[in-house]
Chain A
Amino acid sequence: MSDKKILLKAEHIDKRFGITHAVNDVSIDIYAGEIRALIGENGSGKSTFCQMLCGIYTIGGGTFTLDGQPVNVRNQVEANRLGVSIIVQEMGTLSGLTVAENIFLGHEDPFMHHGIKDTPAMIREGQKLLDEYGFTNIKAGAMIDSYNFEDRKLVEIVKATYMKPKILIVDETTTALSQNGRLELYKIIDAVRADGRSVIFISHDLNEILTHCDTISILRDGEYIDTVNAKDVNEDDIKRLMVGREIGSAYYRTDYGKTISPEVVLSVKNVTVPGQIENVSFELHRGEILGFGGLSECGMHEAGKAVFGASLDREGTVTLADGTQINDIPTAIHHSIGYASKDRDNESIILNESIRNNIVLPSLDDLAENHILKAGKLNRFAQEFADKMQTKMQGINQFISDLSGGNKQKVVLARWLGKGSDILVLDSPTRGIDVKVKQAIYALMQELTAQGKSIIMISEEIPELLGMSDRILIMKDGRINGEFMRSESLSEEDLIAKMV
């Protein structure tokens, strides 16, 4: 191994978002001429790590050294100049520009003569590149808008690789591509390797990783775990490395063997949301915590929205025990369903509003006397439930945007407690929340189920699913792919096997 040259040296890389320690003192060496897979569960810090390298996020701590040169850049163009480029997960091309303009955005200099852009030359050069890559059906002079998502991804691949970067980052791009597109991408990364340069490859597809990567580095909860040779391991080995964390069991449930009430409070039948979930059916029982797990894009978040009546173009039915059909949000709320979104700042709380108004909003009809709202009554109501959740605040008139993530979530829960909701859909309820508040939320969930309320808990954290759920449904590619009952013997591996 010693004959290999280190191309990229990452030393003590660190990043925090509020209280979330997204990347925790990660040091990795990447050798010249290898394809390095970076894997880990949702939120393990792999994307954040790469986005610091290419300037999308600022570096929180530590240093990147590429070929002896420090890399600390402010944007992608600077990163490109130093030899780092990235193909991102979401759409990376810009509408309203031509294909050639997209490819060379920020790198127009070679085509500029005294402030005049040699557009024909740019288009020729762009077309030459596209042809070299074999994407002859894409025309460099055409508007990017005239191509579909996959072709736009191919343009992005050209944009990221034509300048022969020393390090190419591929961040979960393959999921967006068809088999053909994937093959093109594999050819390109193989060419990068053959050229003595390197690729950082992020993917959830273990089979793909084992086939196409040389080495695999595993991250877990922002920490570096290990690097292995792809030849020496199989899928099960990797899964074991991805999990294997100690479950800080102190604040999870300790009871096992609780019998679930046979009473069904909500039944979901054949629910499909085009492009998101397909033919999902399940029942929620009285007093149970039903866990939903899977990879980020598996459709579990949309399933939560569907139950709350918030999905667009939903097919199938969501029915309460009394026969009420849930098709829109006001009906859902009126019939005692509460929802806490994963996207807390946009969908759960009204960020530029006071704590008071955030708590009272769904309950206004209940609080009104002959349609008249009295400030005193609203204040008392908000105060009562904010206190019940032990929200740390200056007062109920404080704006919620000032609060920490945990306290924001407390306000969200206070709102549904106040509304007296019998069914709670909690999507990633402890995301970005510190241990103390987590504990409080878990305690509350148990208290509520003891009162006969039912909870759907959607979570990207496997220990949380194992620790809190009475029953767990695992989703994959928009469908329910497995069901597990609460049990001491249930392991992370069991769940992961159904996820990937």
Chain B
Amino acid sequence: MARNDDMNQSKLSAFLESDTFKGLLPFIGLVVILGAMYYLTDGRIMQPKRLRLLLSQVYYPMIVATGVFFVMTLGSIDFTEGSTLGVASIVVSVLSFYNIPLAIIGGILTGAAIGAVNGFFHVKFRLQSFIVTICTMYLFRGVCAYFTTETAIPASAAIKALDSDNLKIGITVAVLIVAFFLFKFTRIGNDVKAVGSGETAAKFSGVRTDKVKFLAFVAAGALTGLAAFVNVIKVGSITSTAGNQLETQILISLVLGGLPITGGAKVRFSNIVVGTLMYTVLNNGLVMLGFESATQQLIKGVVFLIFVALTIDRKALKVIK
């Protein structure tokens, strides 16, 4: 009997460690959380008004997460999203008084430039991306704070008038589609995954690894710059706290979405969508249930830890740091 139990148990644990299960888990998680929230709120979470609110919180994190997704697929990490969003939002706001397209381009270029700084230091000096982006996070958080020291920076009325769900959905969906296309149907996706799975071997297979890494950071910055535009039309004026802690939120979202921290072949594009949705649903559900913010965060922390323990791919980590 006991042996039988052991066998069942080992089968079960083999299943729990299998890629199939780990791939499914984020979806199961999303459905479970959504179901639980639906049940606990008596379906209120699905009311159109609520859904609109929920979605309005999804747009810009999802755009940012799409860029970070490429960086994390490399197995690297980027902690600058929050400060980039802040600085790019300032640029968008200032330029919005002249010309809206110019403001959008200015935001994207600002983000791309910050990404280029990250990529340059990471690639050129072979510094860990984690260390580089902590430094630049500080630096650009300071830049953002410097320009907002006296007063918040307002955006033009014209840009605020653009605030509509359709535009924001449109931009978000467009970003997802383009990124999906690049990831799935061009060599960019293959190259990025190859670097994450085995950088040396990728290099020996003809991948220009340094270029790929640099461009991934630029892309993450550029998309954050675009997200800054979406942020500006929503909030209208920029304070020193713009984008505060966005990087942690994105990291949590992507890990919840099942993105392995080591990057590589096992990343799924769905990680972005599922992760961001899961984070937002959890967030909104807990608010609707009337928990105070500390309780909400406690629950989030526990859910995050349990989820990570279940989904992490330990085989890919030779030494766990």
A interface, CB within 8 angstroms of B:
308, 310, 329-330, 332-334, 339, 341, 346-354, 357-358, 360-362, 364-365, 368, 371-374, 399, 415
Contacts and interface: CB of A to CB of B under 8 A. Distances in A.
Given A368-B186, A372-B186, A352 B206 contact: no
Interface stretch (B134-142, B195-203, B244-252, B296-304): B195-203
Interface in B192-246: 193-194, 197-198, 200-208
Contacts of A361: 190, 194, 202, 205-207
7 contacts: A332-B206, A334-B206, A348-B204, A352-B316, A353-B264, A371-B187, A373-B187
A357 B190 contact: yes
A350 B187 contact: no
Contacts of B264: 352-353
Contact of B205 (A352, A368, A372, A415): A415
Closest 5 CB pairs of A and B: A333-B206, A350-B198, A364-B187, A352-B197, A361-B205
A339 B200 CA distance: 13
B204 A341 contact: yes
Nearest to A310: B204
A438 to B, nearest CB: 23
B187 A346 contact: no
A341 B208 CA distance: 18
A291 B202 CA distance: 26
Contacts of B117: none
Nearest to A332: B206
Given A357-B193, A361-B207, A346 B200 contact: yes
B308 interface: no
Given A357-B190, A399-B265, 4 more contacts: A334-B206, A350-B202, A371-B186, A373-B186
B186 A353 contact: no
B197 A351 contact: yes
B201 A350 contact: yes
A298 B186 CA distance: 42
B125 interface: no
Nearest to B187: A364
A373 B204 contact: no
B266 interface: yes
Interface in B177-199: 185-187, 190, 193-194, 197-198
Given A346-B198, A351-B198, A368 B187 contact: yes
B201 A357 contact: no
Contacts of A351: 197-198, 201
Given A350-B197, A352-B266, A373 B190 contact: yes
Given A353-B194, A368-B187, A371-B186, A346 B265 contact: no
B208 to A, nearest CB: 6
A402 to B, nearest CB: 11
Contacts of A347: 200-201, 204
A353 B186 CA distance: 17
Nearest to A370: B186
A362 B190 CA distance: 10
Contacts of A329: 203-204, 206
Q: Which of A348, A374, A415 has the most CB of B within 10 A?
A: A348
A353 B206 contact: no
Given A353-B264, A353-B265, A348 B201 contact: yes
A406 B266 CA distance: 24
Contacts of B203: 310, 329
A372 B200 contact: no
Nearest to B209: A329
Contact of A339 (B185, B204, B208, B266): B204
B201 A364 contact: no
B264 to A, nearest CB: 5
A446 B204 CA distance: 25
A352 B198 contact: yes
Contacts of B207: 361
A400 to B, nearest CB: 10
A458 to B, nearest CB: 15
Most buried by B among A329, A368, A374: A329
Contacts of B193: 353, 357
B185 A374 contact: yes
B143 to A, nearest CB: 36
A386 to B, nearest CB: 16
Given A352-B264, A352-B316, A354-B265, A364 B190 contact: yes
Given A330-B208, A349-B201, A352-B197, A357 B265 contact: yes
Nearest to B182: A371
Contacts of A372: 185-186
Contacts of A364: 187, 190
Nearest to B208: A330
Interface in B120-138: none
A360 B190 CA distance: 9
A371 B193 CA distance: 17
Contacts of A330: 206, 208
A23 to B, nearest CB: 25
A470 B204 CA distance: 27
Nearest to B186: A371
A415 B201 CA distance: 13
A330 B208 CA distance: 7
Interface in B244-286: 264-266
A285 to B, nearest CB: 25
Interface in B44-77: none
A364 B191 CA distance: 10
Contacts of A339: 204
A364 to B, nearest CB: 4
Contacts of B202: 350, 361
A20 to B, nearest CB: 21
B221 to A, nearest CB: 23
Nearest to B198: A350
Residue of B205, B264, B265 with highest tally of chain A CB at under 10 A: B205
Nearest to A344: B201
Q: Which of A348, A361, A372 gathers most chain B CB within 10 Å?
A: A361
A310 B206 CA distance: 10
A329 B209 CA distance: 11
A224 to B, nearest CB: 34
Contacts of B205: 333, 350, 358, 361-362, 415
A334 B316 CA distance: 31
Contacts of B200: 346-347
